[in-house]
Amino acid sequence: MERFRKTKEEFEEYLNEFAAFESVPLALREAILYSLVDGGKRIRPVIFLETLRAFCGDVCKNAKKFSVAIESLHIYTLIHDDLPSMDNDDFRRGKPSNHKKFGEGLAILAGDALLNFAYELILECIEETKCEKFMRAGRVFSQLLGSNGLIGGQSLDIENLSMTDEKLTYIFENKTIALLKVSALCGAILGGADEKEQELISKFIYHFGFAFQIKDDMIEFFSKKPPSFCDYIAHYGINKAKEDLEKHTKKALNALEKLKQDTSFLKELTEFAQARDH
Amino acid sequence: MERFRKTKEEFEEYLNEFAAFESVPLALREAILYSLVDGGKRIRPVIFLETLRAFCGDVCKNAKKFSVAIESLHIYTLIHDDLPSMDNDDFRRGKPSNHKKFGEGLAILAGDALLNFAYELILECIEETKCEKFMRAGRVFSQLLGSNGLIGGQSLDIENLSMTDEKLTYIFENKTIALLKVSALCGAILGGADEKEQELISKFIYHFGFAFQIKDDMIEFFSKKPPSFCDYIAHYGINKAKEDLEKHTKKALNALEKLKQDTSFLKELTEFAQARDH
């Protein structure tokens, strides 16, 4: 997707501009930048920027900072999720995970620092603009990511007790979808979407996120990797997974159809996410 | 100190009111509340509330929430600092530390959740009041606690390489004093202190915090506990420690003298902190 590539490049510029971590103690700075500046897919900030653009056309300086806050939060979750006491992953994107490279103590602090940094940026946006949209977006951000959202979802994921339909849905809705939802919904809020439009964007990203995670699990399944604890196919089987991928993709596209704004990018992304093989 | 006890009790009420963690997954909720509701000294929220009161007399509902944000942040630091890859402490306040009780994974998440919760509360304060004082206080909070502040200080503390004067001062100023400074300075900001007054409060709490930590290290020294990596007496010897405790206490009191507000509580607390034996 050419437009995805372009927006991703744009985001990498914002990252360079707003996430320098100057005058931070050297070892901590290295651990932070090792995971933050390493060419991830940047799906979340791209969704944020393109949703914002669908509603208002223009990305102001503070919205750029907000996109960096979203990616910082995402990288924090990756660093902490990889820890031995969580998913215990030694590799991430083909290189040693943060704690394998820097040790557990520094990896925990690098994650903490990125979580805190997201709020440094958001509170800077709020104080500089005094704009109610940033206040709303900041609050939505904090609520969807806390103990009632993403962190709560992760706490169920590491329990590793018996899996139920309800628990799997809870983990999908909170751990997986939370940050995608933050990205799209905060983009819509900052773009000036009204309540009805915010609801449609929430509906879109819910089904997009569900489809996205099912597809991830299918790719793992066909590559014959052992399934993780919270795995759609291990729980429901491949046939239901295929059906549900189809179903959620359709519902995501339906929600976008109801918006009068130009959501061609989000539509294309939804179709691309369903068809991808990696 | 009778007034300390009273304000502490007042704070415990705010904690009950604003930190229920309802509908949070059970195991995570238990891990959070185990450390949050366990009768710590509550020095930081008490300093916050009493500094606020010195400037404006009244504590509004959102300021109460802010006091809970400060303590949540403090408890997050305790949980993460106790982890095996950090200070590796099995006990905290006479009971098993969070990771000994709940396991490392859940302890890390409980810390993350409390860090995030502090910002949930602050962003709630901002959105509900739309008040510039809360915006300023929120930003100060995030800056003093991030990779350029508290988390940066902790990263140097766990390095455990050779200690220098500069490094010890950096760790004291960032790790130890940062959250005390947040407490006093945000109290002053929300109380409506002007810039000159904010500077005096910053000066007061800087010297108060320095004296407080030296005194802590002296108490450990006389109880014959092995010194931690960043220990004032191990580095400078007991005589200089005593002199500096005196010096910082005086400077803290001098800064308060220059304020026209009633700072009798903060003065009493400073003298109490110097004289205490535990």
pLDDT in tens, A172-208: 999 889 999 999 999 999 999 999 999 999 999 999 9
Q: Say yes or no to pLDDT of A120 above 90.
A: yes
Is there a contact between A111 and B112 if contact means CB atoms under 8 Å apart? yes
Structure tokens at A142: 């904090």
Task: Give me A178's structure tokens.
Answer: 């939370």
Q: Do A151 and B28 touch (CB under 8 A)?
A: yes
To the nearest whole angstrom, how far is the Cα of A186 from the nearest Cα of chain B?
14
What is the reported pTM?
0.97
Question: To the nearest whole percent, how much of chain B has pLDDT over 90?
Answer: 88
> B124 contacts in A (CB within 8 Å)?
139
pLDDT category of residue B62 using cuts at 50, 70 and 90: very high
Mean pLDDT for A58-69 is 95
- pLDDT above 80 for B174: yes
User: pLDDT tens digit string along B34-61?
Assistant: 999 977 899 999 999 999 999 998 899 9
- Minimum CA–CA partner of A126 in chain B: B135
Contacts of B170 in chain A (CB under 8 A): 25
Distance from CA of A2 to the nearest CA of B (A): 36
CB contact under 8 A, B105 and A112: no
Which residues of A fall within a CB distance of 8 Å from B112?
Answer: 80, 111-112, 115, 151
Measured between beta carbons, the chain A residues lying within 8 angstroms of B21 are 147
A123 closest CB neighbour out of B28, B138, B147: B138
Mean pLDDT of A61-75: 97
Q: Rounded to an integer, what distance in angstroms lies between the CA atom of residue B178 and that of residue B173?
A: 6
Q: Is the ipTM of this complex over 0.90?
A: yes
* pLDDT at residue B154 in the model: 94
Measure A187 CA to nearest chain B CA, in Å.
18
Neighbours of A278 (CB within 10 A): 5
User: At B83, is the pLDDT very low, low, confident or very high (cuts 50, 70, 90)?
Assistant: very high
Report the pLDDT value the prediction gives residue B205, as an integer from 0 to 100: 98
Task: Work out the angle at residue B177's Cα, subtended by the Cα atoms of residues B44 and B246, and round it to the nearest 5 degrees.
Answer: 100
Whether residues B112 and A113 touch (CB distance < 8 A) is answered with no
Summarised one tens digit per residue, pLDDT across range B260-277 is: 999 999 999 999 999 988
**What was the pLDDT predicted at A226?**
79
pLDDT surpasses 80 at B64? yes
Q: Which of B65, B174, B73 is nearest to B115 (CA)?
A: B73
Instruction: Give the pLDDT band of residue B235 (cuts 50, 70, 90).
Output: very high
Q: For residue B16, how far is the Cα from the chain centroid?
A: 19
| Cβ pair B111:A115 closer than 8 A | no
Q: pLDDT for B111-131, tens place per residue?
A: 999 999 999 999 999 999 999
| Cα gap B122→A138, rounded to integer Å | 10
8 A C-beta contact, residue B66 and residue B186: yes
pLDDT of residue B225: 79
Does residue B230 register a pLDDT over 90?
no
Give the model confidence (pLDDT) of A127-182 as tens digits: 999 999 999 999 999 999 999 999 999 999 998 778 899 999 999 999 889 999 99
User: Which residues in chain A have Cβ-Cβ distances shorter than 8 Å to B157?
Assistant: none
